[in-house]
Every structure is written in C-alpha cells, then in structure tokens.
Amino acid sequence: MPNEDEIARRKELLHGLRDQKRQRTRDAFPAPIGELKELFDFLDERLSESNCDDTLRFTREFVRQHAMEEDLTIQWLEENGGFCDCEALNNVEEIVADAVQGYDRIRIDSDGVN
C-alpha cells in the first residue's frame, strides 16, 4: 500500500496529465474561445427555436457569418463528436467547457467577449 507521499505524488502526476490534456484541447481550438462561445450560444438559440435536422446547418451559417475557417472548424467539431448541430452543442461545448477554466462565466456582448 502506498504511503501518503506516494499518494500525493500520484495525485500531482494525474493533475499534471489532466492539465496537459486541457492545454492540448485549447491548442486545437479552430478559433478564439469567445468566438466558440458565441457559436455555442448561437446553436443553443437556434435549436430552441427548431429541431436539429442532423446536419451542421446552423453551425455552417454561423461560421460563414463570422468568416471562420469553415473546413477547419467543421473538422474540429467532428473530431470532437459534433456531427450535427445538437451534437456540436452537447458534445463539443462540454469538451470546451472542461478545457477552459471559467467557461460558464464568459459573456458575449455586441462587440465580442466581455
């Protein structure tokens, strides 16, 4: 059975690995965090008004309106489980929220991130 020092060392290693994973996730973002937050808020709004049609229709609309790199953004969403608008919102936003401390407190105003 490991002693307290060994338990503490293992916890530190696990925290370090988790932090590295979060950093890799952030490094792979196809756009700044504020823009991603805007995308997810946009999807949330659109999907509250109509059902997901199993495509990335609303995502593509947002990406084009904001001159984001469409191919890069769609590929990133799909790599993270976002193959349609509702999956992008439910699966990918969760990954982003885990990777960005304070994600739930990011506020978007008309000029961008606030």
Condensed to tens digits (0 to 9), the pLDDT of residues 21-45 reads: 999 999 999 999 999 999 999 999 9
**pTM of the predicted protein model:** 0.83
Question: CA 77, CA 74: separation in Å to the nearest integer?
Answer: 5
What integer pLDDT is reported at residue 81 of this predicted model? Answer: 98
Please give the Cα distance from 60 to 58 (Å, whole number).
5
What does DSSP assign to residue 109? Answer: E
pLDDT, tens digit, 9 for 90 and up, residues 42-78: 999 999 999 999 999 999 999 999 999 999 999 999 9
Q: Is 3 helix (H, G, I), strand (E, B) or coil?
A: coil
Would you say 29 and 96 are in contact if contact means Cβ atoms under 8 Å apart?
yes
Helix, coil or strand: residue 25: helix
Q: 14 falls in which pLDDT band (50, 70, 90)? A: confident
CA-based diameter of the chain, in Å?
Answer: 58
Sequence-distant (6+) residues with CB within 8 A of 44 are 89
Residue 114 scores a pLDDT above 60: no
Per the structure, the complete domain to which residue 67 belongs is given by 4-113
Domains contained in the chain, number? 1
